[in-house]
A and B are shown apart, each in its own frame.
Chain A
Amino acid sequence: MTSAGHNYERGRSLLQMMERIRAFEEQACLAAERDKLVLGAIHPSIGQEAVAAGIMHNLSKEDILLSTHRGHGHTLAKGASSLAMMRELLGREGGCCGGKGGSMHIADFSVGMLGANGVVGANITIAAGAAHAIRLLGDNRIVVDIFGDGAVNRGPFLEGINWAVVFKLPILFVCEDNQYSATTKTKTMTGGDGAAARAASLGMRSTVVDGNDVEAIADTMTDIAARLRDGGPPEFLHAKTYRRMGHTSFDPAAYRPEGEAVEEEKKNDPIERQRAILRAVGMTEDDIQLLHQNAQKEMIDILQKAAGTPFPASDTAFIDVQDIGSPAVEAY
């Protein structure tokens, strides 16, 4: 990327978002391991922040996002409050889902984030339906649905993508390919030429992008969003990245070839790569450090605040199940 034509403000804000995601997840991991405050599983996206930052930069709060179990970054980048998110991870009052969902069901409907999902691949058909509703309602919003490389082997991948194609829906499907599905190298369990090829076989325009290059993702997404808002057909983006940590924060990932993660971090960290781009166009070391420290400070603060928040009132266990036949009235 040369300085000519480089949008400095955008580049800086992409870096800032990646710093915030990284800091949030570092604190979440500490809250899990060091503090034993996060009790359920969390799936960090450390090393994959460019996908969240690059894509969400092109969306407004009115646009719709659905995500996966590894969705902290996407949710934060869509505009959710870091404090409400951390409270949710700790199962506290004021968490985005009132402490009922935790990390795997994180959602903030007020910013168009219609939920992470604990079932691999399940968000694909739901997202297609959100886009279907936009067509029925006749407005100009778009939907982004993010899933992992493992999800392409589930049935909803075929059903949801075909659905979007036949109904010409305003949706982008993003395969955030971190090369692993839990402890399995995904390509050892996947036939054919990969996610983009499968989508293309269903008649969907498919693009492959370096998932650790936030500028490239943002550029690609600017074009895709414009085409979708213009009434264009659904699209597919295959973002190739790498899962630097284990499957969950507790997983040492000993099944990986030795040195693989360290090597990836050294040559392909999305934050370092973006810093280098910005340095080359004149960003000062002080400013780089400022973004880093501000993100750190924000996330240390919100963890502390979240830890000081009470658990939800016990009777909320029976609220919001259903109106008719509610367990708050009669459980059986």
Chain B
Amino acid sequence: MPKLSYREASLAAVQQSMRSDPAVWCVGEDLGRGGVFGQYKGLREEFGEARISDAPISEAAIMGAALGAAMMGTRPIVEMRFSDFALCATDELVNQIAKARFMFGGQSRAPMVIRKPMGLWRSSAAQHSQSLESWYAHIPGLVVACPGTPQDNYSMLKAAIACDDPVVYLEHKGIWDIEGDVDFSEEFEFGKARIRRAGSDVTIVSWSNTANIAVEAADTLTEKGVSAEVVDLRSLWPWDKTAVLTSVAKTGHLVVAHESVAVAGFGAEVIATVAEKAGHTLKGPVRRLGAPRSLVSYAPNLEDQLRVTSEMIVTAAQDTLEKAS
């Protein structure tokens, strides 16, 4: 089993998919040079200019043209560079791509992957650091993926490329270099969480890089004699309600943690669902961790004010356990 970085895992997924399906092609700014994060390195040499296509700095056209090309039977992978810039193509994604199949009565499909690297990334400030996954989870027609590990960035990207629905694929740009074993035979099914740590005292639900931080927190909790279960949702639409409800039924305690703003974040959706379906089984108060409803700064100490840390997750888990009824 190869040890790959998060970046290399995505590269392998794209490369393998392009080898096996000639309809797959990539389009975005600076792809020919390997992409801003090197996640397309070497692909131009193998697949040529037409299939690893550069683009003008025209996010709306990249997104809109990819839809036109998808409706014609090709399978574009759209690179938005930073998820923040995808906001320049909001109409194309929300009004066009997400609706192209439904509003034409099923005459068309939009099989495409929209890669949008998101998240905090060393002093990048307010316009290069956002995590807006909850926006996309709110839009009918879209599938939303938030891989947090090299294995998932391989398996999930392969599944996204093979999927006939438009997939908003939110890699976390702070973890391109993290490494891990990648099993090329592992297949991802949307809506299936991964239990990153099994445990019996408290359930920690997370995704993307915060799931990695939750795993650290679980290790600390183990040292303190608390057995925490970390549920990495991996895809937010569809999301694995069964895994969450099963875990909560066992532990009776729930902590939800994500990097994006807590207010109206996807954590609220998870907690509302638990409240509706299993509220009576909870033994302690639910804890929600997300960024304050504030903006990301440049100065590192200010940037850190918005981070959800391993210590915060540990404290939240201990808190709900202490308040057990």
Query: Which residues from chain A sit less than 8 Å from chain B, CB to CB?
Result: 64, 66, 95-101, 105, 107-110, 114-115, 117-119, 122, 124-137, 155-156, 158-160, 162-163, 166, 319-325, 327, 330
Contact = CB atoms under 8 A, between A and B. Distances in A.
Interface stretch (B62-70, B120-128, B218-226): B62-70
Interface in B53-102: 55-56, 58, 60-61, 63-74, 91-92, 95-96, 100-102
Given A126-B96, A325-B190, A163 B73 contact: no
Interface string B150-164: 000000000000011
B101 A324 contact: no
A122 B96 contact: yes
Contact of B64 (A64, A136, A158, A160): A160
Contacts of B73: 133, 137
Contacts of B71: 109, 114, 126, 129-130
Interface residues of B, number: 45
Given A124-B64, A324-B238, A135 B50 contact: yes
A64 to B, nearest CB: 8
Nearest to A88: B105
B108 interface: yes
A324 B163 contact: yes
Interface stretch (B6-14, B139-147, B246-254): B139-147
Contacts of A163: 55-56, 58, 61, 65
B67 A325 contact: no
Contacts of B165: 322-325
Given A163-B58, A320-B105, 4 more contacts: A129-B69, A129-B72, A158-B58, A323-B164
Interface of B: 25, 50-51, 55-56, 58, 60-61, 63-74, 91-92, 95-96, 100-108, 140-143, 163-166, 190-191, 237-238
Contacts, number: 156
A126 B112 CA distance: 14
Contact of A129 (B68, B95, B103, B191): B68
Given A100-B103, A129-B66, A163-B58, A322 B141 contact: yes
B189 to A, nearest CB: 9
Identify the interface centre among B56, B61, B67: most chain A CB within 10 Å of its CB: B61
A86 to B, nearest CB: 15
B95 A105 contact: no
A172 to B, nearest CB: 15
A65 to B, nearest CB: 12
A131 B101 contact: no
A119 B56 CA distance: 23
A150 to B, nearest CB: 15
Contact of A133 (B55, B69, B101, B142): B69
B60 A325 contact: no
B102 A100 contact: yes
B92 A125 contact: yes
A206 B51 CA distance: 30
Contacts of B238: 324-325, 330
23 contacts: A98-B105, A99-B105, A100-B102, A107-B107, A108-B107, A115-B104, A125-B63, A125-B65, A126-B92, A126-B96, A128-B64, A132-B69, A136-B74, A137-B72, A159-B61, A162-B61, A319-B106, A322-B140, A323-B163, A324-B163, A324-B238, A325-B190, A330-B238
